[in-house]
Amino acid sequence: WSVACIKPSVCLSQVLISRNYKGDIDMNEIDHFMPILMQKEEEVDVSPFVAHGAVHFLWIKHMVAMTKNNANAALVFAFLYKIVEVFKEYFKELEEESIRDNFVTVYELMDEVMDFGFPQTTDSQILQEYITQRGHKLEVGAPRPPATVTNAVSWRSEGIKYRKNEVFMDVIESVNLLVSASGSVLRSEIVGSVKMKVVLSGMPELRLGLNDKLLFQNTGRDKGKAVELEDVKFHQCVRLSRFENDRTISFIPPDGDCELMSYRLNTHVKPLIWIESVIEKYSHSRVEIMVKARGQFKQRSTANNVEITVPVPSDADSPKFKACTGSAKWVPEKNAVIWTIKSFPGGKEYLMRAHFGLPSVDSEELERKPPITVKFEIPYFTVSGIQVRYLKIIEKSGYHALPWVRYITQSGGKPVRY
């Protein structure tokens, strides 16, 4: 496969920056692409694949790749997303503004990530050594070539030094639920990820021990509090063969932030915050909403920053609220009431009532019926019960390093239909 050129096209307006990597496609081909996107009113409904003549356009927000070959579709999209990610690491947000302001860096990056239609270096840590934001200031004399230019381990460069050696590890879990209108859980899964921030000198060798059920079975330990992980995926640095053999997670970490692993559990879980709602719509006069939220997790845990979004008709007006805790707010541009509760202890139950007026004339349009959504964060708690048993750090200089571990459970996409 070969991506011929990449164009961060922002908001469908026009092509901002383009690059013809291979030269086998006329750059004017892109002119066929834009009208196709424009035809559709809503960008989201255009298929990500558009073909014109012999050229295929594969596009995501902000980017489009063109190819004439029968390319590997998943790879092209993965690559486009990777570039977006790299750009975001450089300029925080990928918007027309930021691209215009930083076009030199964009050109430099596009030069490094791909050559002749083939992806080259896309690891942002390494790219940051090639291309620094400081590049805009003037450096006198030739800079020292980064070590990674000649490095063996592609994700970590040699000669990193810190005064204080530390590793921060976050175990973040979220519960994805699909709840039917009748209140039964259609589907539930726990999606977890282990994120790291590595502040370590040299080439450290790390080993992570989890309460993995298969590992416990292998070693004959009693499997009381073990967790059966499914669909585990690792960062490139983890030695997959060792994990396959004896479930050991060993790796040389990249410097800075990375997602070490992700996993999924298909266990049946009940919603952590259960929502019951009664929405009564009296046409032409008013709408009455009653929402009840119950914390269905351990009493000693507390959910923070709970945000419950309840949709209301777009033509509703004059809101009145009564919430026994937290505060409710009408957000007309989202056609919703947002009920926020700063701290929500487990086992508690709260109630909120809202009242809206409706115009006496019916609107012609069909109303969308978005689901009620809940956002929250429960620290020091994982739904699956996964635990980090140890994190060993070995480096040949023998320094002492501190591992820090945090657990957080977040709300996933949790739509409750009504």
Partner 1 sequence: MPYLGSEETVKELKRALSNPNVQSDRLRYRNVILRVIRFMTQGLDMAPLFMEMVKASATVDIVQKKLVYLFMCSYATLKPDLALLAINTLLKDCADPNPMVRGLALRNMCNLRMPGISEYIQQPILSGLRDKASYVRRAAVLGCAKMQNLQPDAEIDGAVVNELYGLLRDQDPVVMVNCLRALEEILKKEGGVVINKPIAHHLLNRMKDLDVWGQSEVLTFLLRYRPRCHSELFDILNLLDSFLGSSHSCVVAATTRLFLSLGSALPAVQSGALERARGPLLAACNAQSRELRFVALCHVQQVLRSLPGHFGAHYKKFFCSYSEPNYIKFRKMEILVELVNDENVGTVLEELRGYCTDVSPELAQAAIFAIGRVGQTYSEKCLSILTGLLELKQEQITSAVVQTFRDLVWLCPQCSESVCASIAGCEEHIQDSEGKQALVWLLGVHGEQIPGSPYVLEEFIDALKTEQSPAVKLELLTATVRLFLSRPAETQDMLGRLLTFCIEEECDMSVRDRALFCYRLLQCGVEEARRVLGGPKSDPSLGVIAGRPEEPINSWAGDFNTLAPVYSREDWAALTATTGGSPSLIPLVTGGAAQADLGSAEEAEAAGSAAAAAAPSPPGPSEELCLVSGPPLSPELFERRWLALEPSRRVSLDWPGGDCLPETLQAALQLVNIQALALSRPHARPWKAYLYAHSLGTVVLAELLRDTDAGGLQVTVKQDPEREEALSSFLTVLKTVMQTLLNSRASLSSHN
Q: Which of residues 105-124 bind partner 1 (CB under 8 A)?
A: 107-108, 111, 115-116, 118-123
Residue 270, interface with partner 1 (CB under 8 A)? Answer: no
Residue 104, interface with partner 1 (CB under 8 A)? Answer: yes
Residue 145, interface with partner 1 (CB under 8 A)? Answer: yes
Residue 347, interface with partner 1 (CB under 8 A)? Answer: no
Residue 361, interface with partner 1 (CB under 8 A)? Answer: no
Phi/psi of residue 337, nearest 5 degrees: -105, 130
Looking at 137-145, 166-174, 269-277, 324-332, which segment touches partner 1 (CB under 8 A)? 137-145
Check if the beta carbon of residue 295 is closer than 8 Å to that of residue 348: yes
Token pair listed for 413: 């996409």
Taking the least distance from each CB to partner 1, the nearer of 118 and 390 is: 118
Looking at 43-51, 247-255, 328-336, 400-408, which segment touches partner 1 (CB under 8 A)? 43-51
* Site residues (CB under 8 A) for partner 1, limited to 149-168: 149-152, 154
Looking at 39-47, 215-223, 284-292, 401-409, which segment touches partner 1 (CB under 8 A)? 39-47
CB of 328 to partner 1, least distance (A): 22
Check if the beta carbon of residue 127 is closer than 8 Å to that of residue 121: yes
DSSP annotation of 144 reads: P
Q: At a CB cut-off of 8 Å and minimum separation 6, what does 186 contact?
A: 178, 179, 180
Write each residue from 377 to 416 as x if it is in contact with partner 1 (CB under 8 A), else as -, in one continuous string.
Answer: ------------------------------------x-x-
Q: For residues 262 and 174, what is the distance between their CA atoms, to the nearest angstrom? A: 11
Token pair listed for 356: 């809206």
CA-wise closest residue to 324 among 344, 305, 310: 344
| Partners of 51 in beta bridges | 56
Q: For residues 411 and 173, what is the distance between their CA atoms, to the nearest angstrom? A: 8
| Number of other CB atoms surrounding residue 130 within 10 Å | 16
Residue 72, interface with partner 1 (CB under 8 A)? Answer: yes
Residue 79, interface with partner 1 (CB under 8 A)? Answer: yes
* Single residue of 31, 97, 231, 246 touching partner 1 by CB under 8 A: 231
